[in-house]
Structure 1
Amino acid sequence: MTDLRRRFVEQLRRNGAPLTPELAAAFTAVPREVFVAEGFQRRDGSWARPGSAGFRTAVYRDDVLVTKVDGRVAVSSSSQPSLMAIMLAGLDVRPGDRVLEIGAGTGYNAALLAALGARVTSVDVQEDVAARARAALATAGVEGVRVVTGDGYAGVPGESFDRAIVTVGVAGVSPRWLAQTRPGPVVVPVEHAGTHPVLAIQGPAEGPVTATVLCPSGFMSASGPLTATHPGSHPAPASSGSLTAFAPFAPPRWEPALDSYGYRDLWYAAGVWSNRATHAALPGHDLSGVVLLDEDGSGGAAILPDGSVLAGGDQATGYGDQAVEIIDRWDAAGRPSMRAWRIGLRLTGDPQAPIWAPATWALRPEHL
């Protein structure tokens, strides 16, 4: 099994994970299969269980493992390991750090934190998820992790931490996390244009609060005040089949087309410059990407990786023009990456349970 984990670590390196010697040792030491003891859902919808053919090989791939579903909706998982590595590297954990984790998942992320020398308190609103995480941590012999059932928005009242990490998609950051975490950062996937880029958040609970982007990602969404709508909210991703037919509006701009990283950077900029930007699958096209969604939720304009634009619906011309303007603006700015933005957050959401949500963006001087 150790050889399998070593090959796993090499795969993470090939996939661009920022593995320090300490992180590599953590991924090598922690047995991921223990944290999916009840199996996981394969991409074809079938369920893989321990002992089945290919189970361990699949566990040690750089892939998300869905461990709980509600109907057809995934509600708990073990995140993609290379993404976990980026988030853990951004957290910059030191031995002895007290870490608040929001979202226990399988317990695997907490086990990696413990292997880095952290003392972890993990909070999950789902009692069955928390119980399975506790059991897995005990089976793996992991010490220094406490899993509690509770409202993630509240954190752990009365306690303090050095850092915090959030493993579920949110619309904004709870002030309670900032109050409980000094000096920080809080590493958290925050909704933006139908995805959840991971942000490194700094600032006190009363503000000012700022952030930078660590990487693109997509996470399952939280519930309650952590997903409250606010003036800067983007539309939810368009559901399959909800869009009208889209037709060519503007020709391709780039040859070759943007790679996946460049396209994500353009997508992020679209979300900065339009609060109608979101994610959608396009009918009649084998494509999924960023769309400026009209107010009816059935039309708008899509920006493709080659710089072309498709548009449809009653307001196709207006949204098509906006999409072309976004492409022009991003190109003229030197095609900034999502990491080039410095973000200012504003207290918003439910007045009874407010959140700090992204509200202003500026390109950092070194990227101008």
Structure 2
Amino acid sequence: MDHARRHYLDQIRRDGVTLAPAVAKAFGAVPREVFVPDGFYTGDGRRVLPADPEFLPTVYSNDVLVTKLTGDVPVSSSSQPSLMALMIDALGVQPGMRVLEIGAGTGYNAALLATMGAVVTTVDVQPDVADRARSALARAGIGGVRVETADGYTAGPDGRYDRIIVTVGVAGVSPHWLDRLAPGGVIVVPVEHAGTHPVLAVRNGAEDEVTGAVVCPAGFMSAAGPLTAQHTGSHPQPTVFAGDLDETAEQRWDPALDALAYRDLWYAAGAWHHRVTRAGVPRREQTCFALVDDSGAAGAAVLPDGRVLASGPAAEQYTAVAVALAERWWALGRPPMRAWRVGLAPGGDPAAPIRVPRTWTLTRRPDPA
């Protein structure tokens, strides 16, 4: 165990994450294995138990630990540690701050926040998940955390919070979160965009203005209910292209874009065109971003080297749009995700509205890392 935990922070930093001293101290202090006492599931659905030899090495790796499935669908997990670190850093937690967490999961994230001195209320709509998180926090000896079973949309019990962190993918920001946020507060939340859930740091502004700054790329399990309601700006759902695709535009970058730059292009394409989403392409392990037609099974996929693969009756049209999006991004100097500001406006279900992305503004320079 000591060997696995000793290299844990190195595993997180290996993905390019700079850990602030307080964040590093929390990750080094909180025993992650206590929060998965019944084991977890691998990507192929196999269950790993505490007695298995790979249990501790995987717990102390930079991996998501899926802890609950409904059928084959993951519905609860311990998020990837590097992503957790980025979100906690964006939160700007100081000792004594009141933090609301939407999505208790295993309780590990709340434990990290409490270890940094926050007073945490964490809510989960699944009673069994909330119960297990409460038990894990007690076993770990973590105080300063209240676990409640509640619909995250409502923000749970009454309270006022300096910070709110959301650990499930949503289509927009609940107005109840904004109502609970203290002046100068921030909501760190993964909001759906082009088939993924980039993390936004959302703030209340003057005259009912709500804006978000992009923090980092991410993928999360989606919430249920009004938090994932469709709206006029919704992108198509992630899809898998059917059949073979033809190469309709040749390679334009050598070497190909690295993973982060490709995500930057993906984000820009989604800001500029509403038909962009995540797509699986036959005989390719990694998903790509694509413009899809109304069937969801055809369109044009853009690869990291700039090639375009397309199919369907509108293949030529979607190829031309994909190439134009790539050229536009390149001509603007390959702006990173962090250079975008998002305006959020009322949308979703009128009976349970949310604030959804409506405008995207490319700033001259990204915020300092």
- Bin the TM-score by the shorter chain: over 0.9
**1:65–1:78: 8 Å Cα contact kept in structure 2?**
yes
Give identity over the alignment, percent.
58
Q: Equivalent residues in 2 for 1:60-71 (5 A)?
A: 60-71=60-71
2:11 is aligned with 1:14:
no
**2:211–2:341: 8 Å Cα contact kept in structure 1?**
yes
Distance, in Å, in 2 between the alignment partners of 1:31 and 1:284 is 40
The one-character-per-residue Cα deviations of 1:12-65 (angstroms, maximum 9, x if unpaired) are 122222211111110011000000001000223211111211211111000000
**1:18–1:89: 8 Å Cα contact kept in structure 2?**
no
2:313 is aligned with 1:314:
yes
Q: Equivalent residues in 2 for 1:285-300 (5 A)?
A: 285-300=284-299
Aligned to 1:158: 158
Per the normalisation by structure 1, the TM-score is 0.96
> Per-residue deviation at 1:174?
0.3
Summarize the Cα distance change of 1:356–1:167 in structure 2 as closer, same or farther, 3 Å threshold: same
> Per-residue deviation at 1:6?
2.8
Distance, in Å, in 2 between the alignment partners of 1:31 and 1:333 is 45
The one-character-per-residue Cα deviations of 1:185-224 (angstroms, maximum 9, x if unpaired) are 1000000000000000001697200011110000000000
**2:165–2:189: 8 Å Cα contact kept in structure 1?**
yes
Give structure 2 stretches of 5+ with no counterpart: none
Give structure 1 stretches of 5+ with no counterpart: none
RMSD: 1.4
The one-character-per-residue Cα deviations of 1:336-360 (angstroms, maximum 9, x if unpaired) are 0111111111111111111111111
Distance, in Å, in 2 between the alignment partners of 1:331 and 1:113 is 39
**1:175–1:206: 8 Å Cα contact kept in structure 2?**
no
The one-character-per-residue Cα deviations of 1:298-351 (angstroms, maximum 9, x if unpaired) are 211011100111110011111111101101111111110111111111111111
Distance, in Å, in 2 between the alignment partners of 1:365 and 1:335 is 12
Per the normalisation by structure 2, the TM-score is 0.96
Q: Equivalent residues in 2 for 1:96-245 (5 A)?
A: 96-182=96-182, 183-203=184-204, 207-238=208-239, 240=240, 242-245=241-244
Instruction: Report the 3-state secondary structure (helix = DSSP H, G, I; strand = E; otherwise coil) of the residue aligned with 1:63.
Output: coil
Summarize the Cα distance change of 1:82–1:76 in structure 2 as closer, same or farther, 3 Å threshold: same
The amino acid across from 1:278 in the alignment is: T
**2:91–2:186: 8 Å Cα contact kept in structure 1?**
yes
**1:99–1:164: 8 Å Cα contact kept in structure 2?**
yes
The amino acid across from 2:222 in the alignment is: S
Residue correspondences, number: 365
Instruction: Report the 3-state secondary structure (helix = DSSP H, G, I; strand = E; otherwise coil) of the residue aligned with 2:123.
Output: strand
Instruction: Report the 3-state secondary structure (helix = DSSP H, G, I; strand = E; otherwise coil) of the residue aligned with 2:185.
Output: coil
Instruction: Report the 3-state secondary structure (helix = DSSP H, G, I; strand = E; otherwise coil) of the residue aligned with 1:366.
Output: coil
> Per-residue deviation at 1:5?
2.0
